[in-house]
Structure 1
Amino acid sequence: MNSALPGYLMISSKTDTNDLSDLSEAALKELGPLLATAQDVLKRKLGAQRVYIGRYGHSPGYPIHFHVIPIYEWVEELFWKDSRYRILQSFADGPGETPTDGAELTLFVWREFCERAEPPPVQGRSVSETIEILRRAMR
């Protein structure tokens, strides 16, 4: 998957399995700290407000991987300005429910920055600048 959102990462296993429980103990011990480092760098060096980490894919032929999705302030602002996504508020049910959550922002990022032929303009660092920062910080 290509993403126009700077800092959107996919962290994958080197082992050809689609099942987390098939990974070796050594691989599992590397995975947690790697995901934590990615989150830390996205927040500290790139200014992400939040970082969502999730496993979504299950297609045969691809090793298990995790999507690391930075949510910058400007991304959330774009989400709130886009009236198409306001319908999602109707799913919040009950007292204390927030008007949006990580699933809705993840959907927004996927649709707008990964699937759209013309994604919204990026504010701040470009994808290529972000890649260089991530490479230096995660060595």
Structure 2
Amino acid sequence: MLGSKHHVNSLAQLPEPALAELGGLMANIQSVLETQLTPKWLYISRFGHDPRYPIHFHFIPVYDWVEALFWKDARYRLLETFGAQENAQTLTDGAELTLFIWREFGESPTPPAIQGPSISQVIEKLRQAFRTQPTPNLPPAH
């Protein structure tokens, strides 16, 4: 997760230097996550609607096995009944998969088993990667 140092709820409220810094940091995080974790996709979700918290972004690595679990869960097939059938897609919809990830891995009292390294192993791997990489060339924040 990456959050703003300024307690604002909109990108439009951030000063220009903070916006420039945020973009560089997001690109750096994406690069490290994609290099270290090699997900099928990396979703970046923006939050900040709760006035208690500033605008922030969640970086969500999505793996083949997560997508397979999504397609096996019949409850999420109900999402296909929304919208026009002629517009239905056979590919995984990012919004639907994001909902699945939040509900099943973030909110469920019994989340699915993780395939691959444990959460603590991934955290340690990422900490090490962020420590050892060159400092990104970011504009100074004012």
> Is TM-score (shorter-chain normalized) higher than 0.5?
yes
Q: Which residues of 2 match residues 1-139 of structure 1 at below 5 A?
A: 10-91=1-82, 93=84, 94=86, 97-139=89-131
Looking at CA atoms only, which structure, 1 or 2, has the larger radius of gyration? Answer: 2
Contact persistence 1:13–1:65 (CA under 8 A): yes
CA distance in 1, matches of 2:96, 2:87: 19
User: Structure 1 residue 89: deviation in Å?
Assistant: 2.1
User: Structure 1 residue 92: deviation in Å?
Assistant: 5.6
Deviations 1:56-113 (A, max 9, x none): 3401120110121111111111111111111112236335734431100100000001
**Amino acid in structure 2 at the alignment position of 1:83:** A
Q: How many residues align?
A: 130
Equivalent residue, structure 1, for 2:138: none
Equivalent residue, structure 2, for 1:7: none
Contact persistence 1:89–1:100 (CA under 8 A): no
Contact persistence 1:18–1:58 (CA under 8 A): yes
User: Structure 1 residue 137: deviation in Å?
Assistant: 2.0
Higher RCO, 1 vs 2 (CA within 8 Å, ≥6 residues apart): 1
Aligned Cα root-mean-square deviation (Å): 1.7
CA distance in 2, matches of 1:106, 1:39: 17
**Amino acid in structure 1 at the alignment position of 2:99:** L
**Amino acid in structure 2 at the alignment position of 1:135:** R
CA distance in 2, matches of 1:95, 1:13: 37
CA distance in 1, matches of 2:36, 2:83: 33
Identity %: 56
- The structure 1 segments of at least 4 consecutive aligned residues displaced by more than 6 Å after TM superposition are none
2:37 partner SS: coil
> Structure 2: 5+ residue runs without aligned partners?
132-142
Instruction: Between 58-67 and 83-92, report the one with greater CA deviation.
Output: 83-92
Q: TM-score, normalised by structure 1?
A: 0.84
